[in-house]
Amino acid sequence: MVLVMGAMAMPVWAENGADSAAGGSSETQLQTITVNAKQSTRGYQPVSTSTATRTDTPLLDVPQAVNVVSGDVLRDQDARSLGDALGNISGITQANTLGGTQDAVIRRGFGDNRDGSILTDGLKTALPFSFHATTDHVEVLKGPASTLYGILDPGGMVNVITKKPENVFSGEAYSSFSAYGAGKYGATSGLDVTGPIAGTDLSYRFITEGQNSDYWRNFGDTKKWMVAPSLTWSGEDTDVTVSYMHDDYSVPFDRGTIFDLKTGQAVDLSRRTRLDERYNITDGNSDLAKISIDRQVSDDWKLSLNYAYSRNEYSDNQARVTGYNPTSGAVTRRADATQYSTLYNHALRADLTGDVEIGRFENDLLFGASYDYSDTLRTNMLRCANNSKFNINNPVYGTLAQCATVSAADSDQTEQLSTASVYMQDSLHLTDQWILVGGLRYQYYDLYAGKGRPFNANTDSNGGALIPNGGIVYKLTPEISFYANAARTFRPQSSVSSYYGNLDPEEGTSYEIGSKFELLEGVSANIALFSARKNNVAYSENIGGESVVKTAGLVRSRGVEIDVAGQLTDHWEGIASYGYTDAKVLEDPDYAGMQLPNVARHTGALSLAYDFGEIGPDGNRLKIGGGIRAVGRRAGINNNSYFLPGYGIVDLFAAYTFNFERPLTVQVNLKNIFDKTYYTSSIGSTNYANQIGEPFNVTVRASVKF
């Protein structure tokens, strides 16, 4: 099996000796990539993580569920988005993606777009899409993570780990071709090259990718290109990595289809037929610049400094559905637009970690400080009159012109949030079997939000909070551990709308018990039982055609999760999960007893791959596999007046590597092979916007390694 494949090339494979060339890596290389290599896995198997503790820690020593989707899994499944990657993990569903223009993930019943839960290399960003050709692997920290990462939900966080420069030369050029039926095609090409700069202590990486694809529905297309150079300097006791990523994108702004409240079903319309107009497009570009400095202060202490600046600028147009007459089939639409929207973010953190002995006990200590600042400005908000000329029984486009009217009352939407924190954590090894973990964070915030011309500040608040966590690990054997944890979360929240003004902060408490296993010398598994409660949960409601924010009184989420991944035999490897999540409103005058939108009670996934090894005398190799991902029935709206049906999607793949001087791999991925119609998420505040999953499609990818 070829383990280093360009855009999915992963430093860990070199360290684990999967590539004979990488097996001869020098000590300098290991120092350069040690954090990322250890975070990843052997094939499909998770081994360790630094996301959970900010120090490199074996998964069995972490009193919290941590799931990893390795580069092998991403490559075999031809993952194209963060949603594709997270489909392997228990208890995760998709939230409102703003018409497919934002990542949006629900974890253990909590989450939404722009909720700060998706990080890149442990830092918060303003990126609309965090999954790129630069992605090495994805880690999911379940449960509260606010002690180390600040403002987050009790459901946890997603950490996208990017590829870093290596000091052994390797590279790959690749192209792929996709077909979605109905004459819809797409093409993607890219390059990933890394290696040392001769005669220096520098190593580099250069990644670029371009995509030009038809949208699978009846009109629209996707155009993206990104470039990502990075450079690492490795000294005797200091490593410095500087990286930059620019992403330019034009994507369909597609809010999907309507669910009829009388029937509880989607309207009787081809899934390919859009209800908007050809101008429903989001055009934007984003940038991410990072610097990471790791210095070994002494044999026992290490200092890490990390800073990221990110920016996203976009404009969009849309024909927004605002009404539907099930008798006549008439659809009421309104032309809206957002012009010159800019989001930017600064994230800075400093961590001092040490392994020290105190009172004859080993302690893994962490002391840190962080500062985050985010600024969102939506300058011109365009709003026009409703129009009911569109009918699902005879769809005719072009009856609703683009809007050119700026709404002064709705423009200049602003949100500015700054947080400054100090924190500490200790993993106290009482014995070889017992580990106590405790941490505390003090967080101060300043939040300002509003809109309008003249400007009306609807939120202006500040304050501080202490955020503790605690956990315990009992290692029954070196391969089996049991754990328990308890933690709190705190989230200040805002509304740009004048309806409600200042909102009370969300405050949550979570409890979790579980067990972790390393089986068959190549398989990692965990089972977790959790219960979380959160006050003042924010949700969206439609008032007068405008989506505004309110808070529920008390929301509870509880459930069980099982995740398994690794090398089952010499030839078989797999990743599997099952999650049960019961999330509902306990106290609220309007929604008490209701299920939370987009939260499935049942999620599950199973993917298996079989590596035939060498085929024939030429040393060619073959790998095949497939899997199913399933999501149960979910509430589509706050009042539970309709539900998105459950679904199961089956995918297959085959990869054949020709053992040329420069190995050539041809991989075919068949997705949704039974052409299932399914709905990935709703907007949550109306029944007029429900996103539709992709139909059966085929991708052929050819890559040359050099």
Residue 553: pLDDT over 90:
no
Residue 153 lies in a domain: yes
pLDDT of residue 231: 98
pLDDT of residue 551: 66
pTM (2 decimals)? Answer: 0.90
Residue 142: pLDDT over 60:
yes
Residue 11: pLDDT over 60:
no
Per-residue pLDDT tens over the stretch 55-105:
777 888 989 999 999 999 999 999 999 999 999 999 999 999 999 999 999
Residue 674 lies in a domain: yes
Cα–Cα–Cα angle for 175, 178, 181, rounded to 5 degrees: 165
**Burial grade of 242 (CB within 10 A; 0-12, 13-18, 19 or more):** middle
Gap between the terminal Cα atoms of the chain: 16
Per-residue pLDDT tens over the stretch 563-615:
999 999 999 999 999 999 999 999 888 889 999 999 999 999 999 999 999 99
Q: What is the DSSP letter of 44?
A: T
Q: Mean pLDDT lowest for which of 125-134, 141-150, 179-188, 695-704? A: 141-150
- Which three-class secondary structure state does DSSP give residue 501? coil
Residue 106 lies in a domain: yes
Per-residue pLDDT tens over the stretch 181-194:
999 999 999 999 99
**In the structure, what pLDDT confidence band is assigned to residue 36 with cuts at 50, 70 and 90?**
very low
**In the structure, what pLDDT confidence band is assigned to residue 499 with cuts at 50, 70 and 90?**
low
Residue 676 lies in a domain: yes
Mean pLDDT across the stretch 534-554? 67
Q: How many domains does the chain have?
A: 1
- Which three-class secondary structure state does DSSP give residue 561? strand
**In the structure, what pLDDT confidence band is assigned to residue 552 with cuts at 50, 70 and 90?**
low
Per-residue pLDDT tens over the stretch 412-441:
999 999 999 999 999 999 999 999 999 999
**Token pair of 519 as six digits:** 């089986």
What range defines the domain where residue 415 resides?
6-705
Mean pLDDT across the stretch 2-18? 32
Residue 551 lies in a domain: yes
**Which H or E run includes 27?**
helix 27-39
pLDDT of residue 501: 57
Residue 1 lies in a domain: no
Q: 492: domain CATH number? A: 2.40.170.20
Q: Give the gyration radius of the chain's Cα atoms.
A: 25
Residue 328 lies in a domain: yes
- Which three-class secondary structure state does DSSP give residue 152? coil
Cα–Cα–Cα angle for 584, 128, 250, rounded to 5 degrees: 125
Residue 15: pLDDT over 70:
no
CB 130 within 8 A of CB 160: yes
Cβ-based neighbours of 362, under 8 Å, separated by 6 or more = 355, 356, 428, 429
Question: Does a cis peptide bond (omega within 30 degrees of 0) precede residue 454?
Answer: yes
With pLDDT > 70 as the criterion, what percentage of the chain qualifies? Answer: 91
